[in-house]
Structure 1
Amino acid sequence: MHLHNLAETNSILNTFIAEMRDVNIQKDTMRFRRNIERTGEILGYELSKSLNFSNKEITTPLGSANSNLISDDIVLCSILRAGVPLHNGLLNYFDNAENAFISAYRHHKDNPESFEIIVEYLACPDLNNKTLILADPMLATGQSMVSTFEALKPFGTPKNIHLVSVIGAQEGVDFVSKHFDTNTHLWIATVDEALNEKGYIVPGLGDAGDLAFGQKLQH
């Protein structure tokens, strides 16, 4: 797997990540969502450099111009609900993309420190020969990303796969690298070293879904 960790180069992205982590700034849910969206835009821009392009002649009011435009058929797939702002950021740049959505959540059985990933809802177009961009803001254990991809397999075989996350743990990065093809690309804003005993990223930023949309009912 090809890892693209944008934190290795200083940019304005540092500011957005710092604000998302900050316990005081992240209380502003609208700003939190916007920072995830802006991060998605930056990740999408960097990702776009690796796509396929073809030349097209464009008619202007005064003549014509040649432009190299993306020739890949893109499908954006996000994991609900935390993935919605990240999806919006990517869609701002890949506005002609098809879209897929999947719900995946952690189901804790008897032990609160162990869980399995449950997929309940899935809407997806045909993936055959498409470029799949699979987005999940938090790459903790990596199990959600892998389970989501397994659930997508009946919809076809993409020709290229790009994973997009905001913050990941090294354990999650290692996990997905073992379960995806070596030609898969992972685009991530920053990677933290640790997971705690409940599988959350440390220092991370907390629960991205709750911070973006409010706390969910526990049942």
Structure 2
Amino acid sequence: MIIHRLGEENSLLNKFVAEIRDVNIQKDSMRFRRNIERIGEILGYELSKALSYKSKLVETPLGSKEMSLPNDELVLCSVLRAGLPLHQGLLNYFDAAENAFISAYRHHRGDEDAFEVIVNYFAAPSLENKTLVLTDPMLATGKTLENVLKALKKHGTPRQIHIISVIGSSLGIEHITEVFPENTQLWIAAIDAQLNNKGYIIPGIGDAGDLAYGEKL
């Protein structure tokens, strides 16, 4: 797997990551969603440099200009519900992309720390020979993305897979490196070293879905 750790360089990206981590700024759910969206825009811009391009003649009112334009058939696939703001950020830039959505959630048995990832909703176009962009803001254990990859197989084989995440754990990245194709590319803003006993990233941000849309039962 090719890993692009974009937060290692000084840029405006780190300001938005700092704000989604900040417990005081987190209280404003609208700002939290907007910051995730803006992070998605930045990661999407960086990802665009790795796409294939084709020359096209563009007519202007005063003449014509040869330009190099993206040539990939993109499918943006997001994990509900936390992935929605990140998805929107990417869609702001890849406005012609097709879209897919999948519901994947952790199921804890009682008060046990152990959990399984359950996928119970999936809507997607054909992925055959297309460029698949998987978005999941928090790449914790990597089990969610592993189960998403399994669910995607019946929709065809993508030509290329890109993963977009805001914050990941070292263990989660190690896990998806083992299960995804070798030429998969990961575009991520920050990597934290630890997971707690419930599989949440430390220091991370907390529960991205709850921060964006409110607590769930």
Task: Indicate the TM-score class for this superposition, using the shorter chain for normalisation.
Answer: over 0.9
Q: Distance in 2 between matches of 1:111 and 1:17?
A: 31
Corresponding residue for residue 53 of structure 2: 53
Is structure 2 residue 212 aligned with structure 1 residue 212?
yes
Tell me how many residue pairs correspond in the alignment. Answer: 217
Cα distance in 1 between the residues matched to 2:206 and 2:199: 11
Distance in 2 of aligned mates of 1:172 and 1:190: 13
Q: Helix, strand or coil: the match of 2:44?
A: helix
* Residue in 2 that maps onto 1:124: 124
Q: Structure 2 counterpart of 1:204, which letter?
A: G
Whole-angstrom CA distance in 2 between matches of 1:93 and 1:113:
39
List per-residue Cα deviations over 1:9-63 (Å, max 9, x = no partner).
1100110000000000010000000000000000000000000000000000000
In the TM superposition, 1:150-189 aligns within 5 A as 150-189=150-189
Q: TM-score, structure 1 length as denominator?
A: 0.98
1:98 and 2:98 correspond: yes
Q: Helix, strand or coil for the counterpart of 1:127?
A: coil
Q: Deviations over 1:60-117 (max 9, x none)?
A: 0000011111100000000000000000000001000000000000011255210000
What letter matches 1:100 in structure 2?
A
1:171-194 CA-to-partner distances (Å, cap 9, x unmatched) read 101000000111000000000000
Structure 2 partner of 1:73: 73
Q: Where do 4+ consecutive residues of structure 1 move more than 3 Å?
A: none
Structure 2: gaps (5+ residues)? none
Matched residues in 1 for 2:214 and 2:185: separation? 31
Normalised by the length of structure 2, the TM-score is 0.99
> Partner amino acid for 1:50?
A
The one-character-per-residue Cα deviations of 1:165-216 (angstroms, maximum 9, x if unpaired) are: 0000101010000001110000000000000000000000000000000001
Query: SS at the partner of 1:39?
Result: helix
